[in-house]
Amino acid sequence: MVSFILPGNSASGGFDVANSCRFDRGSTDFLNKTLGTPTNVDKATFSTWVKFTDTSSGNDATLFGVLADGNNTTYIQLLGSKVIRLNMRESTSYIGVLTTNRVFRDPSAWYHIVVAFDTTQGTDSNRIKLYINGVQETSFSTATYPSQNTDLRFNTSGQVFNIGRRGDSVNLLDGYLAETVFIDGQQLTPTSFGEFDEDSGIWKPIDVSGLTFGNNGFYLDYEDSGNLGNDKNGGTDLTVNNLTAIDQTTDTCTNNFATMNPLDLHFTNDTLSEGNLLVTNGANYGFPISTFGLSSGKWYFECQTSSWTSGDLAVGISARGSDAIGDEFSNNTGGGKGYGFRSNGGVYGNSATIVGAGGYTTGSGTHIIGMALNLDDNKLAFSVNGTWQGSTDPDSGTTNMISIEASSTNDTGVYFIALSGANSGAQTMNANFGSPAFSISSGNADGNGYGNFEYAVPTGYHSICTKNLAEYG
């Protein structure tokens, strides 16, 4: 089955969000702070933009949580079943539970989530309100509301407020957060944090810096890479746990970058981490593809490999049609529609040799493979550590670039970025669509100022993000 994933909730124009923070469950990433005396222990609002990256059914992903102990806690999570659940538990009773009927499975989409509390309300359903992308959720599989005037544990003096976990070592967040806000003392609506775009109808963020945050409130914009817990409101910063400067990204709700697609790994041999950018190969082949498909324009992509000479590592593009993607990257006869530069030095396309083994550079150690994809002229070129292979130079034109089938005539009408893992295991491929999960020593943006690459982006080529797709895609 062909997977087409749209670029999610990414509006153009208006307020621009510059940065997000990437949380990786395997790295035990989270932020926290100990709360002081609240402005109002009965009223509060939590708001954040989030891109969830774990599509497995076995893990819950926590946005925020306070855990006094196993029986006294409040947290909101995306469950493994991909519904959103708010839990408030005191002693042995769940005093507040909202579990959506809607599911949220798209690993390419940014969602805006607001949960607003006012336990002084006389009507029980007004004591907790959940909004997603500007619209109040009213359809729940479970809906339990706290008693009137119940104190909110997560806004109580001495409690530890966590971002990215409940408060223990389970159910940590895999994903990206942007514009994370906690309001102490007010039950706000989504219009305090966002608005619908007049032209597109897409929900988009607005400037929240003018809000009243209250004694325990905070505003995280993640713009200080040296202190990702910096409270932009000027209050006490959150403590940073295991997050580093590399976890600051430009993949945001106003400029959404492609990642590898956990819903379409083709085989189950690969695992994805670090915001679905780091591909770790298992004991056999794996063939992940990107979340965004491309049908026109000029695009640049990099991939850092742990060992370019091992096995059958490959970087390229795939139509991801009915044929096995592995045939597209090898000299097999499967009839696939794709092109790949393999670690044996060969380039293969549509299951045939284009450049024989040894035609391109290989070598030991870590390499960064660059790819220039020109879908206006149907041409393709690869680089190794900044050196374009096969006497190509995308900066000066298409001479000697590989000719590819037009996307309009391939299996699906689009090309996806595709990676091929080795059969020797233990290899990694770190994808960079412009918002990398590995350290960049030089830093190069495209002509529009988007992206962060190790090597210079060819003139007229662009990083794969929604702002560029809107203009050139």
Asked whether 273 and 431 are in contact (CB, 8 A), the reply is no
Give residue 357's pLDDT.
62
pLDDT at 295 over 80: yes
Distance separating the N- and C-terminal Cα atoms of the chain? 23
**What is the per-residue pLDDT across 51-101, written as a single tens digit (0 to 9) for each?**
999 988 888 999 999 998 878 999 999 999 999 999 999 988 999 999 999
Would you say the C-alpha torsion 241, 242, 243, 245 has a positive or negative sign?
A: positive
pLDDT at 231 over 70: yes
Asked whether 444 and 456 are in contact (CB, 8 A), the reply is yes
| Element spanning 429, H or E | strand 428-432
CATH number for the domain including 377? 2.60.120.920
Residue 373 lies in a domain: yes
**Does one domain contain both 222 and 358?**
no
Q: Is 22 helix (H, G, I), strand (E, B) or coil?
A: strand
Cβ neighbors of 131 (< 8 A, separation 6 or more) are 112, 113, 114, 115, 116, 137, 189, 190
Strand segments, DSSP code E, in 80-174 are: 84-90, 93-100, 111-118, 128-132, 135-136, 140-144, 160-163
**Does one domain contain both 230 and 279?**
no
**What is the per-residue pLDDT across 15-57, written as a single tens digit (0 to 9) for each?**
999 999 999 999 999 999 999 999 999 999 999 999 999 988 8
Asked whether 115 and 76 are in contact (CB, 8 A), the reply is yes
Summary mean pLDDT of the chain:
90
User: Which of 219, 249, 279 is a domain's end point?
Assistant: 249
**Does one domain contain both 319 and 407?**
yes
**Does one domain contain both 65 and 179?**
yes
Report the pLDDT averaged over residues 256-277.
88
**Does one domain contain both 291 and 245?**
no
**Does one domain contain both 68 and 200?**
yes
**Does one domain contain both 371 and 236?**
no
Residue 471 DSSP code: H
Residue 244: give the domain boundaries. Answer: 20-249
**Does one domain contain both 231 and 346?**
no
Cβ neighbors of 170 (< 8 A, separation 6 or more) are none
Counted domains in the chain: 2
Residue 247 DSSP code: G
Residue 112 lies in a domain: yes
User: Which of 216, 249, 282 is a domain's end point?
Assistant: 249
**Does one domain contain both 135 and 37?**
yes
Would you say the C-alpha torsion 202, 205, 207, 213 has a positive or negative sign?
A: positive
Structure-block tokens of residue 309? 């000479």
In 3D space, the residue among 55, 106, 48 whose CA is nearest the CA of residue 79 turns out to be: 55
Residue 264 lies in a domain: no
Residue 131 lies in a domain: yes
**Does one domain contain both 240 and 359?**
no
**Does one domain contain both 160 and 244?**
yes
Residue 8 lies in a domain: no
The more confidently predicted of residues 246 and 359 is 246
Distance CA 114, CA 166 (A): 17
CATH number for the domain including 118? 2.60.120.200
Residue 453 lies in a domain: yes
User: Which of 249, 280, 315 is a domain's end point?
Assistant: 249
Residue 221 amino acid letter: D
Residue 351 lies in a domain: yes
**Does one domain contain both 242 and 278?**
no
Residue 261 lies in a domain: no
